[in-house]
Structures are given as C-alpha cells and as structure tokens.
Structure 1
Amino acid sequence: MAAVVGLIAALGLGPVVEADAAAAGPGVTADRFGDRPHGFASLAGGTTGGAGGKVVTVTDQAALVKYAAAAEPYVIRVQGTITAEPFGASVEVASDKTIVGVGDSGELVQGEFHLSPGTHNVIIRNMTIRDSAIEGNWDCKDTDFDGIQMDTVQHVWVDHNRFSNICDGQLDVRKDSEYITVSYNRFEHNNKTFGLGWTTNVKTQITIDHNWFANTKQRNPSVDNAAYAHLYNNYLTAQVDPGDPVWTYGNWSRGRTRMVIENSYYQDVQHPYQADATAELVQHGSILKNTTGRHDAWGTAFDPRDFYDYRLDPAAAVPALVERFSGPQKAIGRAPYARH
C-alpha cells in the first residue's frame, strides 16, 4: 500500500489522503470511483443506469433475474455469490438498470449478463463474473457462455468488474452497439477475452481505459469495424501461450476500425498492438517491456479530445494504478448507491 501511495503522490496523480486508505484506498477521486461514466458512455445524453429507481438488494438468482428484466428502473445491489442454474444461464438485463456488487463480494458464477437489441442505459459495476469455462474446452467453439454479452445496445458502462475463467468471451460488445465505456476492469485467466464487432457497419464508439489483462491469450481487445475506439492507460501482462505465433496478441484494430492507444503498458506480450491494412491505429506514449511481434501504427484515426475531456495518467504509473484500482472496490459497493 505504501509503495502505491508513494508512486501516485510522486507522479502527481491526484490527492492522496491517508485517512482514505483504510476505507477506500489512496487517491480516491471522481474519475476512479465516481458513479457517473466518462468517455463515450457520457455523451449523447449520458448513461445513468437505474438512477431514480428503487434500490433493491438481491442474494439469489430468482431475484436478480426478476429485477434485471423489469420494465422500470432499478439499482440492483448483488450481495454475495449467486450461482446461475443451469450452467451457463443468462440473466437478461433490460434498459435503465444499475447492477452493482455490495462491498467487493458480489459475484455471478457460471452465468452471463445479456443485453438484447434495443437495450439502453445500463451500468454493470463492481461485480466478479467467473467460472463458466468447461474443463478441457479451451476454444469454447461449441458454447456461448460469455460474461457480459450485448447486441445493438446504447449507453452502457462496464466498470470495476473482475472477469475470470469464462467460456467463451469475457466481454462481447456486438452488432452496432454505441456509446460504450469499459473502465477499471480485471480480465484474468482466459482464451477469448474481450471482442467487439460482429457487424459490417462502422458505428460503435467505445472508450477502454485502466483495465488489466492478465493471463489472457487473445482479444485484449479485438476491435472490428468500430468508428472510434479509444484505448488508454491499460495494462497488459503475462499472456497465456506466448509461443502461439498468430492468436496470442494484445490490441487489434480490425476491419475499418479507427483506434487510438495512449499511455498503456505492455509487459511480456506478443503482438502488443496491430492493425489490419484497412484499419487505422495511432499510438502515443505507451511503454513496452519484453514484447515481441507486431507493433503496427498507421493512419490518422481521430482525436479523442474532439469528443470528450479525460485525464491521461503517465504510462510508467499504469501498473501500480491498475493493480490498485481495477476490479471490485469496497468503496464503490458501499457509498455511491445509497443516495440514488
């Protein structure tokens, strides 16, 4: 803890209040723990989830399914571990919902959150989503057990979650979904991690920041046909199966994607960032340590500041920041949702 506090203070990354450390950790600022999204999810009316709706606490699958699919807004607090039955079962999430883990203990095990076409205004935060993988089925070609899957949705914020050991995608953003922000998540122990696309249209706008990809093989993320993909301050490390010459990789700008990568940190990664000939990829300020393979950059892509303001942390600070602040946090599961 002291080392993290010292590094954050030395690099000038915001206030470090010792009194905060016992409760929520150092450097508690609006952009790290606030209950409003940044990036693309903040645009075009913003993303508020279930704000203004009833606050309910659920401890079992039936209650989670009931409130998540309801027509009216809800803030749904998930307390403890919920194991989905049957194995791989989906929890349908309707519009105007916030799903947030209580403390840092909220878990969905062997199940999926699913957002169907037309769904909008959803926040999923502070959850652990894990263990839908089938032993011995590494490629998962005959299953579709994602952690979160969304198709043709708008305004979704996926923040401070932990995804682990899922078959197949941990997070799939599909079929022309728009105004998405994916921030401060931990993606761990997986083959197909985080994919975007499944469309020939070029519509999606997505912000991906301060995420930790650890022991993940591919799609970290893979971004196909996104109009704007802004990746910054992400941490990629310790890939699984680095001897695979093709399908072990970090960030991939595919199809006609325009991608901007800023101040990320790549350690022990094969093909840290790459782009199709039809795509564009601009990279600024990242640190590469013990990386091999492709380091593509071409085209002009876009300027994220034409769309929104954001704070860019130094790449050297990314490992300490992301290790400390990504994944479920007790401060998130306690404070922000008491006042909705």
Structure 2
Amino acid sequence: MSARRRILAVLGGAAAALCLVTGLIAVQASAAAGCRVAYAVASQWNGGFGASITVTNLGDPLSSWQLRWSFTAGQTVTQGWNATFSQSGSTVTAVNVDYNGSLATNASTTIGFNGSWSGSNPVPSAFTLNGVTCTGSVTGSPSTSPSTSPSPTPSITPTSTPGPPPTGLVGWATQGGGTTGGGNASATTVTSSSALTSAASGTNPAVVRVSGTISCSGMIRVGSNKTIVGNSGAVISGCGLNVSEASNVIIRNLTFRNWNDDAINVQYSTRVWIDHNTLSNGYDGAIDVKRASDYVTVSWNHVHSHDKTMLLGHSDDNGGEDRGRLRVTYHHNYFDGTNQRHPRVRFGNPVHVYNNYYRNVGGYGVASTEGAGVLVECNYFENTGDPYHLGEGDSGPGSLVARNNHMTGSGAGQTGGSVASIPYPYTCDTPSQVKSIVTSGAGAGRISV
C-alpha cells in the first residue's frame, strides 16, 4: 500500500488532569493551558504502519508532559522513539524523555512510533496533553509572557516561506515513522557558515535555506527535525554537514565542493533523506552513512570528479552496533565518472540500490561486504567494468542479488547469497530508460524549492 500522510489538528478547552506518572505537573485552573497536535501516518504496509506526532504547547511553559489518545480500531504501538510509550487497552500514553521534557509556550516536539493494525487504521479523534484536551486554543491567562527567540545575527534572514514538502520520498526513510525534517516551520535563510551552524543546531523543527556560497572548513553539525535546503545556486564550499545523533533530517538542493572531510556524514542517526544534491572534488566521502544509523534514503544526487562516493558502514569491527541497522535506499543517483563506493556496504540488510545511472565508473560500482545483503536492480551501467561484487579489500563478502539491470559496455558483475525482502512500496523505472531519466533529473537545481 502506498504511503499516506494525514494531518490532524484538534481544537478545544480544558479537561481534568489525568496523570499516569508521579511527578507530572497538573494544569491549574488559573494557568493558561492549550495544545495542538499533528498526527501523520508516514507509511503503512500490510499489518503495520509508522506514524509521527508533533505536539505544540500553546499554554504556560511545561517542564514535563504526557500525551494521551485512544485508538478506535484495535491498533497497537509496537515500538516508539522520542518518548516512553505505554498502552492499556485502546488508550496510549506517551511520556517525555529527558531531552524533550521542557516545552516553552508555542514550542513543539515530535515523537513517533511503529504500530500494528488490522482491517482499518483510522486517525485518533482526540488528544490530551497533561490532561488538557488539545484544541488549538488557549484557556486562562498566561502566567508568564511567551518566550521569544534571541535576535538573529545580520547574516540570518527569517522568512515566511515554508520548506519543501517531502514529495517523492521513497525507501527506507519512509520507515520508522517517516522523515519530514523541519516540516512546515517558517524558513530561515542563511548566508554564512556561522549562521548555518546556529540555525542547524538543536532539536526544534526548523527549515534552513542556504543562499549563495558558504565557505567553511570541517563539519557543521545538523540537529534533529531539520530541513537544510538550498536556494537556487546555493553552494557549500570547503566543508560538509555532519548529521550526528539526530533524527528526522532532510538535506536537499545543495552543491558541495572541495570539502576537507566528508560532504555529508550520517552517524548514530535515523530517518534521514539526502536528495537532489550535486557533489564534486572532495577529500573523503561524498555521502557516508555509518555507526548504527538507520532508515536513510539517498536519492537523485549527482556525484562527479570524485573518488570515494558513498560508504555504508565504516569499519569491519563495528558489527556490534551496525548489524540490524544501516538500512539505506539508494535510488536515481548519477555516478558520473567516479571511482568507488557506489555504495560500499557493510552489515546492512536489506540495502536497496535501484534506478541509478553509473557512467564510466573507474574502480567498481557496488560492493557487498561483511554479511551485508544488497539488492541491485533496474540500474543502468555504462562503461563500468566492475558493476558489483562481493567483498572488498580486507572486508569479507556479503550477499548480493542483481536483477533487471541494463548493461552497456560493462562487466557481468558478481552475485551470491540472498537478501531480506524490501518492506516499502517502490516502482522500478524501465532499466533502459534510467540513463535519460536520471541525467535529466539528478542533482541540485532540478527541483522547485
């Protein structure tokens, strides 16, 4: 079943405080209280689904919170993140964790879960936050003035333009609750490395638009719930973006040049979408995913004039963290005269490589190593002597299944073993048409943002 996104916005007043956890703060009748909830089914499959919930506190600041709702069709929560989930019958309670318990006035936090369903999967009809029905309005008078953000530096220009919706998201980043980045947060435009560093930090939802050329060195860290998107012609030169210990991140429409570490590094992070970027002439990896990261989609990127392209899993010795994770989808990427790692895979299973165009690849295309399981399908290999193989360097072999690939002036490749099934819906383009599809659509500047 194709992914569905549903948004629920609920209006209302105060209700009696219902606390399941000792120490939660009851809402006083004289205090300002109110909340808004957006519930999204990010992906759904036979018997299961992933959902994300954004909670906005409209009342007085909270130091801790619990969100409660009821399912009406027998759904159950099976796994959650960014909150502690419990369920009694149809009633689900989500309690904050240590890093997101404080919610200032008008502040939001996003949580998510995987669940099971049978027959139907309707959206819950009502939510309460610390016992107050979320209605989108406020009761009582604020006891404190709403907090305001510090004035931005001159190089940060707030705008009201929303970031791009995650249209076209396919693959592993649709799983685990889906990937929405900064969502509909008002965008902030940055023109310097210091402004980008500031805007990309923290965990509050944010849409950060890069304008012009930002020159920098090293790595700029990107926090959770962020969309980093380039305006037309946006360039990051000399440095890269480090998505570390984060979740729900989107990076789109940027040109990376001459980075002195990695262009985009993802580590200890989940639900990341890297889409429609152009990358060239860097030092190390163009897009590397490692250290227990999971639920990542790398799509419609153009890499040229570069050696080490996309590494998945950094070390043969890191299986304790990486096994059962490192699930990544690579689709519609343009590997243009690059040399190796398209991708090189350790441990992840299944890793999905489909509808990519490989042109004049010098070393090898795809390598499956260290017990990984890689499905290579519907790609277009042109003048690529070694399109895919098992093992690489000192790394032992994994499994690789290849099917429906188009070969022009390329080798036969090496396959072996089996790969776990792909859990999400996708469509393979006709392999012989992938070259024209990818060259006309991949890279920065090919989408409207």
For normalisation by structure 2, the TM-score amounts to 0.59
Q: Is the 8 A contact 1:36 1:48 kept in 2?
A: no
Residue 296 to residue 90, structure 1, CA distance change in 2 (3 Å): same
The CA distance in 2 between the partners of 1:120 and 1:36, in whole Å, is 19
Aligned residue identity for 2:284: D
| Aligned partner of 2:414 among 273, 296, 299 | 296
Deviation (angstroms), 1:79: 1.2
The CA distance in 2 between the partners of 1:90 and 1:273, in whole Å, is 31
- The answer for unaligned runs of 5 or more in structure 1 is 1-32, 134-144, 243-247, 334-340
The CA distance in 1 between the partners of 2:381 and 2:433, in whole Å, is 12
Q: Is the 8 A contact 2:383 2:408 kept in 1?
A: yes
Aligned residue identity for 2:387: P
| Aligned partner of 1:89 among 210, 215, 218 | 218
Deviation (angstroms), 1:271: 1.1
| Aligned partner of 2:236 among 108, 116, 126 | 108
Deviation (angstroms), 1:36: 5.4
Which of the pair is proportionally richer in helix?
A: 1
Does residue 271 of structure 2 align to residue 161 of structure 1?
no
Residue 34 to residue 329, structure 1, CA distance change in 2 (3 Å): farther
| Aligned partner of 1:274 among 389, 392, 405 | 389
CA root-mean-square deviation: 1.6
Q: Is the 8 A contact 1:226 1:257 kept in 2?
A: yes
1:59-208 aligned within 5 A: 59-84=191-216, 88-103=217-232, 105-116=233-244, 118-132=245-259, 145-198=261-314, 199-200=318-319, 201-202=322-323, 203-208=325-330
Q: Deviations over 1:37-80 (max 9, x none)?
A: 21110011100101132311111112111101133211011111
Partner in structure 2 of residue 209 of structure 1 = 331
Deviates more, 1:47-56 or 1:171-180: 47-56
2:352 counterpart SS class: strand
Residue 222 to residue 174, structure 1, CA distance change in 2 (3 Å): same
Deviation (angstroms), 1:224: 1.0
Aligned residue identity for 1:89: G
Partner in structure 2 of residue 18 of structure 1 = none
Q: Deviations over 1:293-331 (max 9, x none)?
A: x61111221232xx1111110111111000000011354
| Aligned partner of 1:236 among 358, 381, 384 | 358
Partner in structure 2 of residue 29 of structure 1 = none
Aligned residue identity for 2:169: P
Query: Which structure carries more relative contact order (alpha carbon 8 Å, separation 6+)?
Result: 1
Q: Which entry has the higher C-alpha Rg, 1 or 2? A: 2
Q: Is the 8 A contact 2:350 2:421 kept in 1?
A: no
Deviation (angstroms), 1:34: 5.2
The CA distance in 2 between the partners of 1:215 and 1:169, in whole Å, is 15
Partner in structure 2 of residue 250 of structure 1 = 365
- The answer for unaligned runs of 5 or more in structure 2 is 1-164
Aligned residue identity for 1:323: T
Deviates more, 1:320-329 or 1:63-72: 63-72
1:65 counterpart SS class: helix
The CA distance in 1 between the partners of 2:211 and 2:390, in whole Å, is 41
Q: Is the 8 A contact 2:253 2:447 kept in 1?
A: no
Deviation (angstroms), 1:221: 1.1
Aligned residue identity for 2:410: T
Q: Is the 8 A contact 1:261 1:284 kept in 2?
A: yes
Q: Is the 8 A contact 2:295 2:326 kept in 1?
A: yes
The CA distance in 2 between the partners of 1:92 and 1:204, in whole Å, is 20
Partner in structure 2 of residue 227 of structure 1 = 349
The CA distance in 2 between the partners of 1:278 and 1:266, in whole Å, is 22
Aligned residue identity for 2:405: S
Q: Deviations over 1:203-257 (max 9, x none)?
A: 2111100000012111111011112100100011122xx4xxxxx1111111111
2:438 counterpart SS class: helix
Q: Is the 8 A contact 2:282 2:306 kept in 1?
A: yes
Deviation (angstroms), 1:280: 1.0
Deviation (angstroms), 1:129: 0.7
2:259 counterpart SS class: coil
The CA distance in 1 between the partners of 2:360 and 2:372, in whole Å, is 26
The CA distance in 1 between the partners of 2:235 and 2:427, in whole Å, is 30
The CA distance in 1 between the partners of 2:397 and 2:379, in whole Å, is 23
1:23-38 aligned within 5 A: 35=167, 37-38=169-170
1:300 counterpart SS class: coil
Residue 216 to residue 331, structure 1, CA distance change in 2 (3 Å): closer
Q: Deviations over 1:140-197 (max 9, x none)?
A: xxxxx10001111100000000111110111110111100000000111111111010
Q: What is the count of residue pairs matched by the alignment?
A: 275
Q: Which runs of 4+ in 1 moved over 6 A?
A: none
The CA distance in 2 between the partners of 1:187 and 1:330, in whole Å, is 14
The CA distance in 2 between the partners of 1:252 and 1:301, in whole Å, is 14
Partner in structure 1 of residue 189 of structure 2 = 57
